[in-house]
């Protein structure tokens, strides 16, 4: 390439990026005001005391909440694994359907997202309550009543129910891009169904798994409300503790500290997750 | 063409929804001849900002009077209505100066704090023609001894709600909330002050004690209770008690009446150790922008018809004699809302506590919940 041609192409690239930057300004301003600034406010609260003076005192209380943080990660992990096991075969099945059927199925997956989280959680409460729909049904059949609400299982159920669509969507989008000719080629070369899955489909759907897992795991770890309503006093998720701490003036700074610590842990988790997927298709989160 | 048709169809759908809603507006909310005070249109077109608890005014549901609309119709004032869940939220919003309100309806101890911090405007109650209806029992209360700042709106007490099919014998003490037989069927307040109050009453400690050791003692008792408690609740209590998903719960007497309508197995008792009594009163903050309209609103809220509608909607006890003595009042002489002299429980008011003590018990509360 001549120097002139280089210059022109560099200018072109530059022009494009200036245009893109201009279009980006509204969102950048938005992100600044509603994402970056609030994060600094959280950090500010975490490192100050009630008088606004710098202190590390808040972090000394971290140990008291160690078990809650651990519990939250365990529950979120279980919920994510179950969601993945449910969603993966389902997503594969969806991609094999006719396009019109696919549309209907995907709409059914999305319907819960059209409804408010509070209403969904309240409905689940009514279904699994000690005297709820399931138990009344069991009693009618002459069976033992089950203790479902106010157990960790109920919280995990709530998470799976609420976050299932976020797992299905990226999986479907990645799987539908898998070229059928690759599978045909694999068969021609003597692959059976198992090895086709292990050596072709699974590796190609990793980006979808990574983004689905991230989109389910992150909100699950910091879940609140769902755990309060469905877990009763049996579960103390870190999200609920942060909420109750931040709501009270006296404990606001400790709450901010916990929120900050949780944010850092989640960030580290996501970075580790993304190492599994070197492909940036399917939506990298960080 | 197909797209064009669907566009037209969706527009029609939206428009028809709106016209359906609009059909509702016809007759006036309340017959103006029933109102006793005089409501001129002098302030028509101005805005009145009202800040109240959620679900704490008759709103037109199920044939009741929509009080805010009725006021707007009579005065031409435009009401901007917003609501809060607890006194502290209301206080921090007011104290931050981020927004102003013309009317607020805080509880007793919060009024005490607002007066002390010079955040309320004085109100000359002699100019409110309907003030004569306020029962003497609710005048000169501790937080406003000379009735200079507030007009009582609702009063109430906390008590114990239980499901008669789930408890062996009718409880008469807060001890029921520590009964191991009921383990997993006990509900408790989610807010620390109300929960501590119950433990303090069991221990015979003053609800407003400034002695941290006494707060520690109450905290010990609450910690003991922790593993028996099914859930710490506020509004979820309705769902849980009505559906027989818990056996006992402490809550506000008035709310019990609405629960009982949905589940006749429920019963209520004022525990013998004593209960917390409260009074929510209408006040004008000192940064109010529409003081005269606020006074009109106060007077309007004490109107016999309006107060009756509110009392029946909210189900709390009314301090308004025109309501209490009205034969048509749904809860006239109700033994729970208006216990007779000999059945009155021992009562204690909350007082505003020092920030240091509040911080202390809030910290204790987090530890109890987390133990």
On whether residue A59 sits in a domain, the answer given is: no
Contact between B45 and B76 under an 8 Å Cβ cutoff? The reply is yes
Question: What is the C-alpha separation between B1 and B188, in angstroms, rounded?
Answer: 61
Single pTM value for the model? 0.82
The reply to whether B235 and B357 lie within a common domain is: yes
Backbone φ, ψ for residue A146 (5° rounding): -110, 145
Q: Tell me whether residues A249 and B92 touch, CB distance under 8 A.
A: yes
Q: What is the pLDDT of residues A270-280, one digit of tens each?
A: 888 888 765 55
Whole domain around residue A145: which residue ranges? 65-274
Contact between A79 and A156 under an 8 Å Cβ cutoff? The reply is yes
On whether residue B267 sits in a domain, the answer given is: yes
The reply to whether A158 and A82 lie within a common domain is: yes
Question: What is the C-alpha separation between B53 and B255, in angstroms, rounded?
Answer: 14
The reply to whether A247 and A109 lie within a common domain is: yes
pLDDT tens, N- to C-terminus, chain B (371 residues): 677 777 777 777 777 766 655 555 557 888 888 899 989 899 999 999 999 998 899 998 888 999 999 999 999 999 999 998 889 888 888 887 878 999 999 999 999 999 999 999 999 999 999 999 999 999 999 999 999 999 999 999 999 999 999 999 999 999 999 999 999 999 999 989 999 999 999 999 999 999 999 999 999 999 999 999 999 998 889 989 999 999 999 999 999 999 999 999 999 999 999 999 999 999 999 999 999 999 999 999 999 999 999 999 999 999 999 999 999 999 999 999 999 999 999 999 999 998 889 989 988 998 898 77
The reply to whether A239 and A184 lie within a common domain is: yes
Domains of chain A: total: 2
The reply to whether A136 and A3 lie within a common domain is: no
CATH of the domain at B122: 3.40.190.10
> A81: which residues sit within 8 A by CB, 6+ positions away?
none
Q: Tell me whether residues A251 and B243 touch, CB distance under 8 A.
A: no
A20 near B CB under 8 A: no
On whether residue B16 sits in a domain, the answer given is: no
Whole domain around residue B250: which residue ranges? 156-277+346-369
The reply to whether B306 and B359 lie within a common domain is: no
On whether residue A60 sits in a domain, the answer given is: no
What's A36's DSSP letter? I
Residue B24 vs residues A181, A266, B27, B130: alpha-carbon distances, Å: 62, 51, 9, 31
Question: What is the C-alpha separation between A78 and A225, in angstroms, rounded?
Answer: 18
What is the predicted pLDDT for the residue at A265? Answer: 92
Backbone φ, ψ for residue B149 (5° rounding): -125, -20
Of B230, B246, B362, the CB nearest to A250: B362
CATH of the domain at A187: 1.10.3720.10
Name the token pair of B193: 């002050």
On whether residue A250 sits in a domain, the answer given is: yes
On whether residue B5 sits in a domain, the answer given is: no
**Cross-strand bridge partners of residue B104:** B51, B283
Name the token pair of A242: 């942060």
The reply to whether A143 and A219 lie within a common domain is: yes
Residue B259 vs residues B182, B242, B249, B255, B315: alpha-carbon distances, Å: 20, 6, 12, 6, 11
Domains of chain B: total: 2
Of A130, A132, A244, the CB nearest to B369: A244
The reply to whether A72 and A36 lie within a common domain is: no
With contacts defined as CB-CB under 8 Å, which chain B residues touch A241? 366, 369-370
On whether residue B28 sits in a domain, the answer given is: no
**What is the ipTM score, two decimals?**
0.72
The reply to whether A132 and A181 lie within a common domain is: yes
On whether residue A28 sits in a domain, the answer given is: yes
The reply to whether A6 and A128 lie within a common domain is: no
The reply to whether A27 and A150 lie within a common domain is: no
Name the token pair of B270: 């004022």
On whether residue B262 sits in a domain, the answer given is: yes
The reply to whether A120 and A41 lie within a common domain is: no
Contact between A149 and A128 under an 8 Å Cβ cutoff? The reply is yes
Centre a 10 Å sphere on the Cβ of residue A152 and count the other Cβ atoms it contains.
Answer: 17
With contacts defined as CB-CB under 8 Å, which chain A residues touch B366? 241, 244-245, 248, 251
Backbone φ, ψ for residue B187 (5° rounding): -110, 155
Chain B closest-CA separation from residue A118 CA (Å)? 12
The reply to whether B89 and B195 lie within a common domain is: no
**Cross-strand bridge partners of residue B52:** B83
On whether residue B143 sits in a domain, the answer given is: yes
On whether residue B132 sits in a domain, the answer given is: yes
The reply to whether A35 and A171 lie within a common domain is: no
């Amino acid at each position: 390439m001549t120097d002139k041609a280089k210059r022109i192409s560099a200018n072109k690239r530059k022009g494009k990026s200036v245009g893109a930057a201009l279009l980006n300004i509204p969102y950048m301003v938005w992100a600044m005001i509603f994402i970056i600034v609030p994060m600094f406010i959280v950090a500010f609260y975490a490192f100050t005391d009630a008088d606004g003076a710098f202190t590390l005192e808040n972090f000394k209380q971290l140990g008291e909440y160690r078990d809650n943080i651990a519990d939250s990660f365990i529950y979120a992990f279980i919920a994510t694994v179950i969601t993945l096991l449910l969603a993966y075969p389902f997503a594969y099945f969806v991609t094999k359907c006719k396009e019109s059927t696919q549309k209907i199925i995907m709409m059914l997956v999305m319907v819960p997202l059209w409804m408010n989280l509070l209403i969904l959680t309240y409905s689940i409460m009514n279904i699994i309550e000690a005297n709820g729909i399931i138990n009344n049904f069991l009693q009618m059949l002459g069976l033992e009543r089950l203790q479902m609400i106010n157990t960790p299982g109920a919280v995990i159920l709530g998470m799976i129910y609420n976050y299932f669509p976020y797992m299905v969507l990226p999986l479907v989008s990645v799987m539908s891009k898998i070229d059928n000719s690759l599978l045909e080629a694999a068969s021609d070369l003597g692959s059976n169904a198992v090895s086709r899955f292990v050596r072709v489909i699974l590796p190609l759907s990793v980006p979808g798994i990574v983004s689905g897992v991230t989109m389910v795991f992150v909100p699950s770890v910091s879940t609140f409300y769902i755990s309060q309503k469905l877990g009763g006093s049996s579960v103390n998720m870190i999200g609920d503790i942060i909420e109750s701490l931040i709501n009270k003036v006296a404990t606001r700074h400790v709450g901010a500290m916990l929120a900050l610590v949780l944010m850092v842990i989640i960030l580290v988790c996501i970075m580790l997750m993304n190492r599994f997927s070197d492909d940036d298709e399917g939506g990298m989160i960080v | 063409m197909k797209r064009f048709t669907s566009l037209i169809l969706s527009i029609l759908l939206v428009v028809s929804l709106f016209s359906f809603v609009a059909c509702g507006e016809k007759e006036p909310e309340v017959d103006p001849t029933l109102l006793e005070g005089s409501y001129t249109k002098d302030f028509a077109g101005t805005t009145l900002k009202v800040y109240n608890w959620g679900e704490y005014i008759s709103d037109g549901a199920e044939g009741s009077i929509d009080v805010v609309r009725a006021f707007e119709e009579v005065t031409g004032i435009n009401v901007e209505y917003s609501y809060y869940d607890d006194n502290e939220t209301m206080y921090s919003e007011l104290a931050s100066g981020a927004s102003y309100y013309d009317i607020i309806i805080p509880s007793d101890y919060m009024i005490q704090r607002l007066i002390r911090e010079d955040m309320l405007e004085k109100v000359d109650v002699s100019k409110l023609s309907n003030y004569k209806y306020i029962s003497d029992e609710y005048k000169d209360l501790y937080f406003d001894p000379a009735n200079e700042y507030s007009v009582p709106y609702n009063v109430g007490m906390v008590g114990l709600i239980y499901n008669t099919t789930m408890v062996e014998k009718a409880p008469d003490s807060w001890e029921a909330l520590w009964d191991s037989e009921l383990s997993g069927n006990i509900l408790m307040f989610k807010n620390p002050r109300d929960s501590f109050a119950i433990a303090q009453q069991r221990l015979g400690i003053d609800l407003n004690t400034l002695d941290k050791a006494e707060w520690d003692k109450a905290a010990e008792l609450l910690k003991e209770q922790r593993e028996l408690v099914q859930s710490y609740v506020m509004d979820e209590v309705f769902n849980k008690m009505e559906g027989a998903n818990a056996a006992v719960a402490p809550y506000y007497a008035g709310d019990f009446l609405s629960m009982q309508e949905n589940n006749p197995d429920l019963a209520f008792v004022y525990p013998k150790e004593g209960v917390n009594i409260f009074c929510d009163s209408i006040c004008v903050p000192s940064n109010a922008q529409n003081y005269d309209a606020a006074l009109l609103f106060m007077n309007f809220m004490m109107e016999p018809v309006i107060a009756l509608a509110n009392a029946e909607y909210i189900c709390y006890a009314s301090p308004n004699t025109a309501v209490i003595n009205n034969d048509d009042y749904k809860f006239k002489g109700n033994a729970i809302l208006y216990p007779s002299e000999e059945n009155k429980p021992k009562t204690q008011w909350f007082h505003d506590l020092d920030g240091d003590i509040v911080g202390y018990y809030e910290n204790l509360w987090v530890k109890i919940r987390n133990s």
